[in-house]
Amino acid sequence: METNTAAILTANSNFYDAFANGSAKSMSQLWSCQESISCIHPGWPPLFGSKDVINSWQSILSSNPPLIAYSRATAHIHGNIGYVICCEHLEPGVLIATNIFSYEDGEWKMIHHQAGIVPSNRDDETITLQ
């Protein structure tokens, strides 16, 4: 099992590449097919299961996807589960995201994404992620 932090950070980077490129196909390939997945977009109710989660991303990415970048990613691995906490940069500000992955068939696959708003007086340089 490839459990090093570089591999999970690469999976996290691939998630943001798919998001930034507006690629619903790439986005759907990043998510686990074997787990009960979930996602909480800012201001949305929780979504559960592949159908609802993937449909939400298809909707977001098909209608003028937002410009996004990420920074300050920190990875933590516990057996075949790992998570990355990072800052997301969208207009008009910064969000904090937690991306949870499961190691499946030799790859880290996303099983949960949640992003939340950071207070307006904070930016990624003043947020401690460890």
In this prediction, residue 34 has a pLDDT band, given cuts at 50, 70 and 90, of confident
Pairing mode, if any, of strands 93-104 and 81-90? Answer: antiparallel
- pTM for this prediction: 0.88
**Environment class of 68 (CB within 10 Å of its CB; exposed 0-12, middle 13-18, buried 19+):** middle
Cα Rg, the chain, nearest whole Å: 14
Domain ranges of the chain: 5-119
Would you say residue 1 has pLDDT above 50? no
Q: 56-97, pLDDT tens digit by residue?
A: 999 999 888 778 999 999 999 999 999 999 999 987 789 999
Q: How would CATH label the architecture of 5-119?
A: Roll (3.10)
